[in-house]
């Protein structure tokens, strides 16, 4: 059965499921935000570190170049004022070159820009100076001469030796510009010398100008650039700048592991939530189905008209249904938990009820149910038909007894009424039979009465004679008495037959009953020219209600006689026989009549089935119920050996009294 989920519980479930999900999402968001903040912080720190380092580098270079400037300025001063100039130049220049590997050359020009001296004395440099250096260096020299102070040149490339720049320092003698000192720096060497190893480990330093032309670089790492910072490279200026690029650090492995773990855990939580959600959904569905099932069961229980009562193995009531409560008038609370004696037991039948109760608990209750009188709360009695069955739980354990209880009071009343009606019908039928037989009985009665009258007249005549013989009178009176008895018997039989009495079975001799019946129908048989033949062996007594059995026999005998109305007179023979078969007596009433009309054969024993114009059609149905009341059977067979070729044998059985 498919149960539709209750909208309320679905909403509640959705809420229940949404809360942890929301929690996990928020937690995840918080963790991600935290990681992002940490990362941001790191970048910030990195950036601050970078700026600090770059500033340091810039300052270092400025300091280095400034220091050299000072030394050169000193040399220029000394060259202007001292005598042995060449010697001095050589000494100092050598010293400078030795201490500064980035200085490629120190040249001393005179006023006409002719080289006075140069260190180191590399002709190629001279040549280079002539070829490439002069334009920018010359400009610097001119500017320095004009301004009377040191001036840096623009950077320039020397083929094969990379980028360089120069510094021109004017030499004054007696306040007059006398000559010019020019120092050429190689940018790569400058970087190599001045950028320390730890800096190169962390950053890549590039010297570029505004047009992104690269003049020098230093780095000992490779990888993905992350942060960059630029700072003017001044001196020498001219738009030169450092570009320092930080490389992505390999990252903190612990942090990565942590982030990974958080991710894995979050996925795990989501996954488990998913499973829990599934489980909860399944559970909700099952609960819903169970609820629907339970509702159906309760509805079924409530609408049951059969009382249900469950007891545990000790006989204590553990459940009663509404029908049982209605039946007994006690509420479920008053009954559940009760042990015997139960409030609905009838006090005066306590012992029998208790015995039955014990039998049920011992598992000996009759399987086809038993009847018991119970008492309602208002004291009213009712007849209960009870079926007991073992109560087996889901694990197959026997945990008690389940009873279904039917209030059969009304049914029993109806049965009693039907029985009474049937009896009334039998009685009526007897009256009808009587009425039908009245004329023949009157004729029958006439015989003894007229005999009595004639004996009486005879006696009077005899008495009138003087010499009458008393013996004759006695004889006549005796005969008269016999006739009177005969008449009395007829009257008694009629009286007996129509008397209404409760059926009671008692041992009686079948032959006597048959004889009585024969005596009863004889007058009618004579009138109908029917010969009655009885074949009765010595039979043991049968337990029967004499009157009822007589009614059956009379009915069957009269039916047989009536069926032979059109049979040849000499063949109108009606046989009544009986014989013992097993533990019962079979009585047969045989006629040579017309046989059962085919149209009524199937409903022969149904009431109001008749082919006779004045017939009531209840005779056979009454016969059958009487025979069944005696625990026997009644049926009809065709009389196959009949001399007329047709005829019927009605047979009924009666159980023999066990001796």
What are the residues binding ligand ADP (CB under 6 A)?
555, 559-560, 563, 591, 593-597, 600, 604, 609-612, 615-620, 648
**Beta carbons of 393 and 399 less than 8 angstroms apart:** yes
**Rounded to the nearest whole angstrom, what is the least distance from the CB of residue 435 to ligand ADP in the complex?**
13
Nearer to ligand ADP, 10 or 594 (CB): 594
Cα(192)–Cα(162) distance, integer angstroms: 13
Cα(632)–Cα(601) distance, integer angstroms: 21
**Rounded to the nearest whole angstrom, what is the least distance from the CB of residue 573 to ligand ADP in the complex?**
13
**Beta carbons of 321 and 29 less than 8 angstroms apart:** no
**Rounded to the nearest whole angstrom, what is the least distance from the CB of residue 526 to ligand ADP in the complex?**
19
Cα(186)–Cα(158) distance, integer angstroms: 9
The SS3 assignment for 641 reads: coil
**Rounded to the nearest whole angstrom, what is the least distance from the CB of residue 614 to ligand ADP in the complex?**
8
Q: Which residues contact 235 (CB under 8 A, 6 or more apart)?
A: 62, 65, 152, 167
Cα(105)–Cα(132) distance, integer angstroms: 14
**Rounded to the nearest whole angstrom, what is the least distance from the CB of residue 559 to ligand ADP in the complex?**
3
Q: Which residues contact 498 (CB under 8 A, 6 or more apart)?
A: 427, 430, 431, 434
**Rounded to the nearest whole angstrom, what is the least distance from the CB of residue 643 to ligand ADP in the complex?**
16
Cα(587)–Cα(564) distance, integer angstroms: 20
Nearer to ligand ADP, 206 or 563 (CB): 563
Helices of type H across 348-408: 350-361
Nearer to ligand ADP, 373 or 531 (CB): 531
Cα(129)–Cα(141) distance, integer angstroms: 13
- How far CA 612 is from CA of 190, 418, 563, in Å, comes to 151, 27, 10
Q: Which helix (H) or strand (E) holds 580?
A: strand 573-581
**Beta carbons of 106 and 119 less than 8 angstroms apart:** yes
- 186 forms beta bridges with 164
Residue keyed to tokens 């004009």: 146
**Rounded to the nearest whole angstrom, what is the least distance from the CB of residue 605 to ligand ADP in the complex?**
8
Nearer to ligand ADP, 169 or 620 (CB): 620
Q: Residues, the chain, total?
A: 659
**Rounded to the nearest whole angstrom, what is the least distance from the CB of residue 563 to ligand ADP in the complex?**
3
**Rounded to the nearest whole angstrom, what is the least distance from the CB of residue 316 to ligand ADP in the complex?**
57
Both tokens of 205, joined, read: 């330093």
Long-range Cβ pairs for the range 64-67 (8 Å, 24+): 64/190, 64/194, 65/167, 65/185, 65/235
Nearer to ligand ADP, 220 or 611 (CB): 611
Nearer to ligand ADP, 201 or 637 (CB): 637
Nearer to ligand ADP, 217 or 607 (CB): 607
Both tokens of 157, joined, read: 């490339």
Nearer to ligand ADP, 503 or 617 (CB): 617
Cα(72)–Cα(64) distance, integer angstroms: 12
Nearer to ligand ADP, 189 or 625 (CB): 625
C-alpha count within 13 angstroms, C-beta hemisphere, residue 297:
7
DSSP, residue by residue, 590-629: E--S----GGGGGGTTSTT---STT--S-HHHHHHHHHHH
- 406 forms beta bridges with 385
- 574 forms beta bridges with 532
**Rounded to the nearest whole angstrom, what is the least distance from the CB of residue 576 to ligand ADP in the complex?**
13
**Rounded to the nearest whole angstrom, what is the least distance from the CB of residue 594 to ligand ADP in the complex?**
6
Nearer to ligand ADP, 133 or 560 (CB): 560
Residue keyed to tokens 């006739």: 483
**Rounded to the nearest whole angstrom, what is the least distance from the CB of residue 569 to ligand ADP in the complex?**
18
Nearer to ligand ADP, 219 or 440 (CB): 440
Cα(262)–Cα(28) distance, integer angstroms: 8
Nearer to ligand ADP, 448 or 593 (CB): 593
Nearer to ligand ADP, 329 or 615 (CB): 615
């Amino acid at each position: 059965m498919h149960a539709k989920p209750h909208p309320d519980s679905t909403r509640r479930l959705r809420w229940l499921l949404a809360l942890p999900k929301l929690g996990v999402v928020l937690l995840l968001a918080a963790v991600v935000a935290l990681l992002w903040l940490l990362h941001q912080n790191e970048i910030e720190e990195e950036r601050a570190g970078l700026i600090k380092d770059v500033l340091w580098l810039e300052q270092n270079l400025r300091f280095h170049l400034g220091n050299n400037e000072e030394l050169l300025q000193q040399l220029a001063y000394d060259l202007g004022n001292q005598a042995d100039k060449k010697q001095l130049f050589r000494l100092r220049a050598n010293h400078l070159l030795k201490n500064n590997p980035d200085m490629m050359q120190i040249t001393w020009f005179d006023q006409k820009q002719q080289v006075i001296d140069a260190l180191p004395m590399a002709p190629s440099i001279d040549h280079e100076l002539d070829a490439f250096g002069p334009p920018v260096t010359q400009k610097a020299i001119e500017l320095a001469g004009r301004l009377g102070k040191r001036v840096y040149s623009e950077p320039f490339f020397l083929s094969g030796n990379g980028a360089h720049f120069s510094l021109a320092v004017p030499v004054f003698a007696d306040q007059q510009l006398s000559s010019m000192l020019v120092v050429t720096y190689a940018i790569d060497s400058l970087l190599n010398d001045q950028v320390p190893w730890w800096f190169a480990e962390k950053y890549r330093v590039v010297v570029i100008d505004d047009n992104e032309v690269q003049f020098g670089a230093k780095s000992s790492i490779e990888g993905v650039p992350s942060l960059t910072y630029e700072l003017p490279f001044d001196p020498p200026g001219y738009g030169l700048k450092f570009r320092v690029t930080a490389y992505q650090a390999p990252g903190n492995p612990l942090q990565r592991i942590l982030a990974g773990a958080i991710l894995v855990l979050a996925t795990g939580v989501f996954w488990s939530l998913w499973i829990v959600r599934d489980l909860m959904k399944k559970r909700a569905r099952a609960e819903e189905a169970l609820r629907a099932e339970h509702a159906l069961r309760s509805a079924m229980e409530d609408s049951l008209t059969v009382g249900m009562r469950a007891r545990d193995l000790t006989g204590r009531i553990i459940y009663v249904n509404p029908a049982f409560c209605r039946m007994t008038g006690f509420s479920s609370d008053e009954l559940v938990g009760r042990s015997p004696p139960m409030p609905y037991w009838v006090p005066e039948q306590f012992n029998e009820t208790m015995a039955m109760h014990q039998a049920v608990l011992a598992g000996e209750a009759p399987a086809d149910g038993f009847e018991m009188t119970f008492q309602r709360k208002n004291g009213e009695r009712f007849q209960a038909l009870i079926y007991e069955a073992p109560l087996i739980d889901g694990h197959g354990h026997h945990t008690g007894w389940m009873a279904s209880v039917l209030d059969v009071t009304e049914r029993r009343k109806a049965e009693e009424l039907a029985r009474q009606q049937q009896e009334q019908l039998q009685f009526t039928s007897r009256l009808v039979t009587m009425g039908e037989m009245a004329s023949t009985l009157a004729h029958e009665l006439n015989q003894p009465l007229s005999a009595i009258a004639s004996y009486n007249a005879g006696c009077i005549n005899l008495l009138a004679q003087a010499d009458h013989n008393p013996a004759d009178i006695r004889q006549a009176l005796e005969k008269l008495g016999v006739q009177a008895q005969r008449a009395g018997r007829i009257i008694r039989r009629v009286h007996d037959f129509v008397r209404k009495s409760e059926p009671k079975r008692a041992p009686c001799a079948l032959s006597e009953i048959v004889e009585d019946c024969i005596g009863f129908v004889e007058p009618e048989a004579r009138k109908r020219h029917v010969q009655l033949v009885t074949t009765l062996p010595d039979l043991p007594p049968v337990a029967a209600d004499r009157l009822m059995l007589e009614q059956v026999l009379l009915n069957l005998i009269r039916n047989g006689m009536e069926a032979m109305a059109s049979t040849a007179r000499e063949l109108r023979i009606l046989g009544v026989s009986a014989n013992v078969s097993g533990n019962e007596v079979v009585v047969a009433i045989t006629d040579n009549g017309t046989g059962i009309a085919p149209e009524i054969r199937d409903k022969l024993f149904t009431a109001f089935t008749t082919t006779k114009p004045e017939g009531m059609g209840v005779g056979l149905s009454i016969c059958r119920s009487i025979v069944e009341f005696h625990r026997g059977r009644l049926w009809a067979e065709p009389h196959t050996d009949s001399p007329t070729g047709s005829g019927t044998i009605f047979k009924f059985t009666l159980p023999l009294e066990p001796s």
